[in-house]
A and B are shown apart, each in its own frame.
Chain A
Amino acid sequence: MQVNIKKAGKSKGFSAFTAALLAVLLGLVFGYIIMTIASPANSFLGFQKLLMGGFKRIGDVFYYATPILMTGLAVGFAFKMGLFNIGASGQYTMGMFFALYVGFMWKLPDSVHWLVCVLAGMIGGMFWGLIPGIFKALLNVNEVITSIMFNYIGMYLVDMLIQGNATMYISSKTRTSYLPASAQMPSLGITNSSVNISIFIAITAALILFVVLNKTTFGYELKATGFNKYASAYAGMNGKRNIILTMAIAGAMAGLGGAFAILAPSTIAGSSMTYEPVSVIAANGFNGIAVALLGNSSPIGIIFSALFVSHIQRGGTLASLYGYKPEIIDVVIAVIIYFSAFAMLMNAMVGNLIKKLFSKNQSEKILPADPKEEA
């Protein structure tokens, strides 16, 4: 048995998967500790709701997973090339704005209106990812700095543009008006849930990125650059073009996320999702970082980690039934997500720990048979 575990442990995919599971487990343990500190009496039931609640709201789990799946891809894909795309929030917001703009301002046939909105969102995000990419490639400006700046520039710009547009903005309600039905994504028809076909588009996007990374020459170049930029230059790869392309694709993913979020159908007829221009950076962008870390930057891993994060968030809202304040729930969720992501980052350390524990076990097994006493 032990031998089997050991062999399996050596395959790469398996070890990434076990590491992720372990990370999640550690995150949950810490989450539970926080809940116990906050309210010892209810911690068990509350935690149970947190863990299981999501299963009662599968539709919503998928619905809320969609945007963070996209921002997760935006971060993870760039990370494969060694770029830290912290600007997913800005790209997300830009994508959302482009989608909103087309939704309100363009009159198109019903059948294609939402599709064009989605494409516009993708282009918006791509544009906002492209700029840090160009700065990095041509001027060697660190992408972290540019993309943080572009988070703010994007957010304020979008807020300004929306507030200045009478068709899009209802100032008395400080939010955007309702989108026409033709601009909303087709629902999957689950009652009381906004889940819509965007989850399928998101999963398809992840699968496409998986293929790009693992089966194409572009993916080969991208990963080679991420692993060793000197060797990729030595091999004649066009680093500048690849940086720009990668950031554009990453931005497009985040932009799609923003479009999916705002174009989702409302559960109440005659309304829609709305955006409040209140100068806050989109949290979904940052959640994307955690999703990408937990998914080990692999597109397939990111599908699962997005679902997990969404699941915990749904469960968390239910846990408030047991008297937990929403803030505490937020803390617990954040602890679980970020601790898991952090533990994933410490992948190597966790792996070594297991190996060490394991090798101790094994040597103990061998020792009795060892002719040690002879000396």
Chain B
Amino acid sequence: MENYIIEMLNITKEFPGITANDDITLCLRKGEIHALLGENGAGKSTLMSVLFGLYQAEKGEIRKNGMVVKINNPNDANDLGIGMVHQHFKLIDIFTVLENIILGVEPNKMGFLQKKEAREKVIKLSKQYGLEVNPDALIEKISVGMQQRVEILKMLYRENDILIFDEPTAVLTPQEIDELMEIMREFAREGKSILFITHKLNEIMAVADRCTVLRKGKLMGDVAIKDTTKEELSKMMVGRDVNFKVHKKTKELGDVVLSVKNIKVSSKIHSNNAVKNVSFDVRAGEILCLAGIDGNGQTEFVSALTGLEKTSSGIITLCGRDITKATIRTRSISGMSHIPEDRHKYGLVLDYSLEENLVLQRYWRPEFQHFGFIKSNAVRSYAEKLIKQYDVRSGQGPITPMRSMSGGNQQKAILAREIDKEHELLIAVQPTRGLDIGAIEYIHKQLVARRDAGKAVLLISLELEEVMNLSDRILVMYEGEIVGELDAKTTTVQELGLYMSGAKRSTAKENENAG
């Protein structure tokens, strides 16, 4: 009999219209990193939420060190040493880092908060694991990478030794991912046990000891990483071979679709401009990638381009039309589609149903309304078409509440909506964040299909593999400037990395001198 620290035995969890976990068994050894792999909506987050006490399973039992335990809520989980970093962070925006970390377990003497003690402990932990944070920064002001550190520190502060990471790497930059992997190894060396959800097989191969694979709520198997390969894992998960390489035909370039000139955007965090004098064109029939390490102005640039924020100066022209000061609706009508970076903040109305979200950009069009009355039949059939075409999985189809859908399927809903909307320019920010490999393959094909159909695609991605795979041309942004233009066919990941880190620069300076 093996010694498992956690055993989840024959767990079944149902939601309206769907069995999210169907008789799943997962066993975790002490000190191991155990990966959980499965398509979008396979039930990974649900299974982990059962372990963390957010959901109660209808059937099955959980044991810790061989003893049956009942986990009714996250407090019970915490008492058992179980901590979780959620797929969508659960931090309070207007609280500081420190306040978030100690939330719920505030050290106090007779009801008075002992912040000093807490601060010392947090600082000590962050030193020990290299998880640098500023305890007094407000959550809303720090990057997602930082926020994740806060989530991790939260678990460490509570002295948890069974750590659940739900897609921690989806929102991180490649550098941050490497750091996180190292931290996870360190945890494992110390005897902490880790459950790790990710869609990136490389990460599993790099850190995990074992991997449990789910498909559509069912258990596919449990393999030791040293005895398996990426291909085998992906086949287990999707049920077919997945093609990691996208095939692109050479394509004649068309007219300039988007042209930005001398764009400046002021920063919300510091007094300098977040975007300094950026100029470039995107032509019909090309995928132009704006690469760069997170925090170098890409987010601010896209906000200005799409109209969410104002530009300080410069001119934006879309299909020959000056849209620098245009409203978002006008930009949309002029041919702009936008897959936003933050799907929960901008991309979705979580309290609306799937179908209501699918028409978010088009409800006002004649197909969907008549004298201001929404044609619900038209909405329904349109939603059904997109759901089928993009394989958006959910419990109840068009009427599923968006909030209850799995992260990857929420993303697919946005992709379906934005790609299907008529456009000349598709702005895709981290389009495949949180998608499973099968879905990524499909979305990549779709993006290339847009290009082949003579549309312009502006891709903003932190993922080097995606950048190299999809782009025709790469612009590298560093500290708010374009520091290099690379041809995707001839450049290498190493060269790209040099530009991204600011170690090398070319065109920007020349441009400036010329202009």
Determine if A231 and B328 form an interchain contact, defined as CB atoms under 8 angstroms apart.
Answer: no
Of all chain A residues, the one with the shortest Cβ separation from B59 is: A366
Stretch in B31-39, B339-347, B442-450 touching the partner: B339-347
Query: How far apart are the CA atoms of A224 and B66 in the complex, in Å?
Result: 48
What 6 A-B pairs have minimum CB-CB distances, sorted nearest first? Answer: A236-B329, A236-B328, A234-B346, A227-B351, A235-B360, A228-B349
Determine if B360 and A216 form an interchain contact, defined as CB atoms under 8 angstroms apart.
Answer: no
Picked from A223, A231, A356, the residue with its CB within 8 Å of the CB of B347 is: A231
Query: How far apart are the CA atoms of A363 and B58 in the complex, in Å?
Result: 8
B104 at the binding interface (Cβ < 8 Å): no
Determine if A233 and B308 form an interchain contact, defined as CB atoms under 8 angstroms apart.
Answer: yes
Stretch in B107-115, B162-170, B369-377 touching the partner: B369-377
B1 to chain A, nearest CB (A): 11
**Which residues of A143-186 have CB atoms within 8 Å of chain B's CB atoms?**
none
A217 at the binding interface (Cβ < 8 Å): yes
Contacts of A363 in B (CB 8 A): 56, 70
Determine if B374 and A220 form an interchain contact, defined as CB atoms under 8 angstroms apart.
Answer: yes
B326 to chain A, nearest CB (A): 10
Contacts of B23 in A (CB 8 A): none
B61 at the binding interface (Cβ < 8 Å): yes
Contacts of A218 in B (CB 8 A): 372
**Which residues of A346-375 have CB atoms within 8 Å of chain B's CB atoms?**
356, 359, 363, 366, 370, 372, 375
B327 at the binding interface (Cβ < 8 Å): yes
**Which residues of B304-347 have CB atoms within 8 Å of chain A's CB atoms?**
306, 308, 327-332, 338, 340, 345-347
Of all chain A residues, the one with the shortest Cβ separation from B330 is: A236
A134 to chain B, nearest CB (A): 19
Query: How far apart are the CA atoms of A366 and B70 in the complex, in Å?
Result: 13
Report B61-88 CB contacts with A as 1/0, cut-off 8 Å. Answer: 1010011101010000000000000000
Picked from B68, B332, B347, B350, the residue with its CB within 8 Å of the CB of A227 is: B350
Query: How far apart are the CA atoms of A217 and B378 in the complex, in Å?
Result: 14
A230 at the binding interface (Cβ < 8 Å): yes
- The interface size of chain A toward B, counting residues with CB under 8 Å, comes to 26
Contacts of B345 in A (CB 8 A): 228, 230-231
Selected A-B contacts with CB under 8 Å, 28 pairs: A215-B373, A215-B374, A216-B372, A217-B364, A217-B369, A218-B372, A223-B352, A224-B349, A224-B352, A228-B351, A230-B346, A231-B345, A231-B346, A231-B347, A231-B349, A233-B308, A234-B306, A235-B360, A236-B327, A236-B331, A236-B332, A238-B327, A363-B56, A363-B70, A366-B59, A370-B61, A375-B67, A375-B68
Contacts of A238 in B (CB 8 A): 327, 329
Determine if B349 and A227 form an interchain contact, defined as CB atoms under 8 angstroms apart.
Answer: yes
**Which residues of A182-233 have CB atoms within 8 Å of chain B's CB atoms?**
215-218, 220, 223-224, 227-228, 230-233
Contacts of A217 in B (CB 8 A): 363-364, 369, 372-374
B277 at the binding interface (Cβ < 8 Å): no
- With most chain A CB atoms within 10 A of its CB, the pick from B67, B356, B364, B376 is B364
B469 at the binding interface (Cβ < 8 Å): no
Determine if A234 and B61 form an interchain contact, defined as CB atoms under 8 angstroms apart.
Answer: no
B467 at the binding interface (Cβ < 8 Å): no
Of all chain B residues, the one with the shortest Cβ separation from A235 is: B360
Contacts of B328 in A (CB 8 A): 233-236
Given A234-B338, A372-B61, 12 further pairs, Cβ under 8 A: A217-B363, A227-B352, A228-B345, A231-B346, A232-B349, A235-B360, A236-B328, A236-B331, A363-B56, A363-B70, A370-B61, A375-B66
Contacts of A216 in B (CB 8 A): 369, 372-374
Of all chain B residues, the one with the shortest Cβ separation from A10 is: B16
Query: How far apart are the CA atoms of A227 and B345 in the complex, in Å?
Result: 11
Determine if A231 and B364 form an interchain contact, defined as CB atoms under 8 angstroms apart.
Answer: no
B410 to chain A, nearest CB (A): 12
A363 to chain B, nearest CB (A): 7
B513 to chain A, nearest CB (A): 38
Determine if A231 and B16 form an interchain contact, defined as CB atoms under 8 angstroms apart.
Answer: no
Query: How far apart are the CA atoms of A218 and B373 in the complex, in Å?
Result: 9
Determine if B56 and A359 form an interchain contact, defined as CB atoms under 8 angstroms apart.
Answer: yes
Determine if A375 and B373 form an interchain contact, defined as CB atoms under 8 angstroms apart.
Answer: no
A278 to chain B, nearest CB (A): 43
Determine if B348 and A231 form an interchain contact, defined as CB atoms under 8 angstroms apart.
Answer: yes
B373 to chain A, nearest CB (A): 6
Query: How far apart are the CA atoms of A215 and B338 in the complex, in Å?
Result: 27
B361 at the binding interface (Cβ < 8 Å): yes
Contacts of B66 in A (CB 8 A): 375
Determine if B363 and A220 form an interchain contact, defined as CB atoms under 8 angstroms apart.
Answer: yes
Query: How far apart are the CA atoms of A235 and B348 in the complex, in Å?
Result: 9
Of all chain B residues, the one with the shortest Cβ separation from A215 is: B373
Query: How far apart are the CA atoms of A237 and B372 in the complex, in Å?
Result: 14
A240 to chain B, nearest CB (A): 11
Contacts of A228 in B (CB 8 A): 345, 348-351
**Which residues of A81-130 have CB atoms within 8 Å of chain B's CB atoms?**
none
Query: How far apart are the CA atoms of A230 and B63 in the complex, in Å?
Result: 43
A301 to chain B, nearest CB (A): 17
Contacts of B364 in A (CB 8 A): 217
Contacts of A234 in B (CB 8 A): 306, 308, 328, 338, 340, 346-347
Query: How far apart are the CA atoms of A235 and B356 in the complex, in Å?
Result: 12
